[in-house]
Structure 1
């Protein structure tokens, strides 16, 4: 059985992660708890304490459906970036009123994200009234009202 880590280990880990955040290492999101635990050879509880300290300090943020991300990029969750890009295409006429949106599979491939991320982005556009779903047909750009 490995020896327990000394008191304050979570602070050492949080400081190391904070330095990596400042260096831009985690621009695409934080590694999983398991990955951090393996790297620092500590229990998941210690990792959670370190991540909690970073969250309390405002260095990272937890986004539902995405995971932990660097706080300064919190406004740039993957679904938000996709939503903004699709909205830009709608506004500049690349996706005119009445045009069918590309399929979820096409968007997954184009943006390199999960199907759930695409669904969330499109759902946000639907909620905002930019896109409408037609049962069994697809999603279409709504005409501005």
Structure 2
């Protein structure tokens, strides 16, 4: 039977991760809970406690649909990036009023995200009045954009 880890192990892990963050080891985001657990040889609950400590101190943040990122990163959620890109295309005239938006499947393929992420982006554009849905036909750029 393996010996139990000493109290405060999560603090050691969080301090190690904090030092790595300061040194710039994680430009693409913090490793997954499973990866950290394997590296330090601890249970997932210990890893979660260490990550929660980092979030509470403001070193990392959780971005919906992305994962945990270094707090100084300006990475927007994927649906926000998709919205911004589609809105830019609408404003530049690449998607003029009345044009049908690409299908969800095409947008999933283009942006490399889940269908739910694409739906949220399009729904937000629809709520803002930039896109209108026509039942059974698709979504179109609104004339008021």
Q: TM-score range by the shorter chain?
A: 0.7 to 0.9
Deviation at 1:8, TM superposition (A): 2.2
> Superposition pairs for residues 1-145 of structure 1, below 5 Å?
1-22=1-22, 23=24, 25-27=26-28, 29-73=29-73, 76-144=76-144
CA RMSD between the two structures: 2.0
Q: Does structure 2 retain, via aligned residues, the 8 Å contact 1:61–1:74? A: no
**TM-score, length basis structure 2:** 0.86
Structure 1 regions of 5+ residues with no counterpart? none
Which structure has the bigger radius of gyration?
2
Q: Compared with structure 1, are the counterparts of its residues 73 and 115 closer, same or farther at alpha carbon in structure 2 (3 Å cutoff)?
A: farther
Aligned length: 144
Q: Compared with structure 1, are the counterparts of its residues 98 and 72 closer, same or farther at alpha carbon in structure 2 (3 Å cutoff)?
A: farther
Structure 2 regions of 5+ residues with no counterpart? none
Q: Which has the higher helix share?
A: 1
**TM-score, length basis structure 1:** 0.86
